Structure 1
Amino acid sequence: MTISQYGRHQVTAGMQWPEWIFGSFVPIGAFFCTLEFAIVLKKHLAGEKVKKGEEA
């Protein structure tokens, strides 16, 4: 998605900003969600208590 927006030089309708800037937050956010999942999974497999809402 982000690469195609960058390649087509798509811009937003109102401000004429490049759309790939906003589209890049989707894979960045997915990376951080995966990282958090891996940290909690590691704690769970190690037998540590993981509290609901606990930050890693």
Structure 2
Amino acid sequence: MMRCPNCHGKDLGRIGSQQYYCWTCFIEMAVEKNKLKVHQVEPDGSLSSLDDLFSEEERKI
């Protein structure tokens, strides 16, 4: 079971074939090469990377 790297919750929704959204802390994640790419959704709808806040180990799936 995949967990959110930020809040460690399991309340994830699928928004694309390899994209997920955490309903607890409101971040978006995409799976690339068995690693999560983590993004914050900005008010204008754009995405800002949060990858630098998490270690490689935390982003592994």
Highest CA radius of gyration, 1 or 2? 1
Verify same fold: TM over 0.5: no
Structure having the larger proportion of residues in helix: 1
Give the TM-score taking structure 1 as reference length.
Answer: 0.22
Structure having the larger proportion of residues in strand: 2
